[in-house]
Structure 1
């Protein structure tokens, strides 16, 4: 496990975004082992599950147990996705250190995803923020504006509407507000433009990027986000995941490929690629036959690869 300071935070979402998109359910004990292995590889932030109705997503029924287990890992920031106040209360009771709330810029997607209009969802952000503010132990609230770059149900989403929703979420009490390419529709010029505008609107409360590789644009969009000052990037090991309520929204960015890209660019992630690639075996054990993606796991690192900040050459 690498322990140096980092330049970019890679936020792993596989145990949530990845597993919620798979029809089968990974056994709880294997989820424990997977989270352990991801943290052991140096990942410092993991979204371990979501507090939603098990009738809707039975894959997430054991999230409370996974959160409690993950809290025992030193140095790990444990995230959980919540759609509403009830989910936030359950997540905090389980020990989550940070909550993420998806607020869709697309009205059609918002209704399909959480059964609320964007305006109703923003009011829920306010309720959750009020609940968290009433507690002594700090728990951060992060909002991801989903379908920020386009929607497979609605089509194009006006950029000014995206920024208006982001601003409203910050005013409602979110600690940070990021943008999500839920449907893999974004291009680098759009990503650079939108995150530049987000930082102009929200300053230090402008959050990270959740980008998909559905149409092969994922890592190009990462570079554009970096150019715009983004320093937190979501990804999923082996590219698992996508929104089950957005048709065609497959293809999270592969964590292994993202780490390789960042380190190759001289940006420290603190992640050990070899240990990260080994963690894929737990997915194979828990979800046999599930497609696993990634160029780096297949090809390996190139001769002469050097981790950012290191003098040690890999051969």
Structure 2
């Protein structure tokens, strides 16, 4: 078993943690396959921006997702970079074993709140997935006890297959997963159906049920509510947010629409509010060029890269100078 690389903590803990999911959620949502060389360069650019958590891939068979065929190599590259948490998605025990052998710092397991989505996506019921999670936790405990197991609870805010997902079922499933031994549970707006009132209410209910094991908000901008929903989650105490550079990973349920929240826009929102992310926005925007080089012609989204950063926008990193002028790229959708 490959021991996960210990990474030193960054100099200061940001007020919010932005978890970059583009190399996994973004890449597996597009048809093109980015080369390993370009993936390494992109991950280097993301790390240089100050991001301190990244989901680098999925441990699934290459025949199912050719985009993830080199995931073990990418994990080894990312874990060699200091000061951040490298995680990977694992849908089953085999994937978890491979991810731990590669040296990930964190495992994330997808579990659907919608029974219909669970059966269609992984061909298992929700309660069967709880049993899978229990096996993964047991493997972690036996081989890599320092590696957290996180649940990304998909379709928590609605499902295109069954429609509404009762909040009581989300809370019930969260309780089952905590009993299975997971470290945290994030809620995902897989289909882009959430609204701010719903986000506040559901995160509040889950937090009341499982306390500090309530994890990240994975919210989509499919219908233009991504940032509003992130702010609603912030209002009720969520401090980790998933996002994808350039909004990579369009939503398959709304062709032509942006899917994932754009990392650049999310960082700008929090920094403009005076909430420290620890991310250098200029370097983050510059990382789009590395992404574009690896996926030429793939649409990239984001309001901030188009409009530019206002003059005087502060660099809120400790000791950072005030920025002057505008940071801007020539991106257009």
TM exceeding 0.5 = yes
Structure 1 unmatched runs, 5+ = none
Q: Who is 1:92 aligned against?
A: 100
Q: Who is 1:58 aligned against?
A: 66
Q: Deviations over 1:4-55 (max 9, x none)?
A: 4310000000000000001010000110111111011000000000001111
Q: 1:307: Cα distance to partner? A: 3.5
Q: Who is 2:240 aligned against?
A: 232
* Cα separation, 1, equivalents of 2:254 and 2:131: 26
Q: Who is 2:322 aligned against?
A: 312
Structure 2 unmatched runs, 5+ = 1-9, 326-333
- Which of 106, 125, 143 aligns to 1:117? It is 125
Go from structure 1 to structure 2 and tell me whether the alpha carbon gap of 1:247 and 1:218 turns closer, same or farther (over 3 Å shift): closer
Q: Who is 2:149 aligned against?
A: 141
Q: Who is 2:172 aligned against?
A: 164
* Cα separation, 2, equivalents of 1:304 and 1:276: 18
Q: Does residue 291 of the first structure (1) align with residue 330 of the second (2)?
A: no
How big is the alpha-carbon RMSD for the aligned residues of Structure 1 and Structure 2? 1.6
Q: Does residue 212 of the first structure (1) align with residue 215 of the second (2)?
A: no
* Cα separation, 1, equivalents of 2:190 and 2:315: 30
CA contact (8 A) 2:109 2:151 kept: yes
* Cα separation, 1, equivalents of 2:119 and 2:292: 34
Go from structure 1 to structure 2 and tell me whether the alpha carbon gap of 1:184 and 1:220 turns closer, same or farther (over 3 Å shift): same
Go from structure 1 to structure 2 and tell me whether the alpha carbon gap of 1:7 and 1:288 turns closer, same or farther (over 3 Å shift): same
CA contact (8 A) 1:3 1:270 kept: no
Number of residue pairs the alignment of both structures matches:
313
Q: Who is 2:276 aligned against?
A: 268
Q: Who is 1:301 aligned against?
A: 309
Q: 1:87: Cα distance to partner? A: 0.3
* 1:314 partner SS: coil
CA contact (8 A) 1:237 1:255 kept: yes
Q: Deviations over 1:238-276 (max 9, x none)?
A: 0011566x6768510000000000101111111011111
Go from structure 1 to structure 2 and tell me whether the alpha carbon gap of 1:158 and 1:134 turns closer, same or farther (over 3 Å shift): same
Q: Does residue 182 of the first structure (1) align with residue 190 of the second (2)?
A: yes
Q: Does residue 255 of the first structure (1) align with residue 263 of the second (2)?
A: yes
* 2:143 partner SS: coil
TM-score (norm 1): 0.96
- Which of 26, 29, 34 aligns to 1:21? It is 29
Q: 1:312: Cα distance to partner? A: 1.6
Q: 1:74: Cα distance to partner? A: 0.5
Q: 1:137: Cα distance to partner? A: 4.9
* Cα separation, 2, equivalents of 1:298 and 1:122: 43
Q: 1:302: Cα distance to partner? A: 1.3
* 1:306 partner SS: coil
* Cα separation, 2, equivalents of 1:283 and 1:154: 35
* Cα separation, 2, equivalents of 1:109 and 1:250: 21
* 1:144 partner SS: strand
Q: Who is 1:46 aligned against?
A: 54
Q: 1:314: Cα distance to partner? A: 3.0
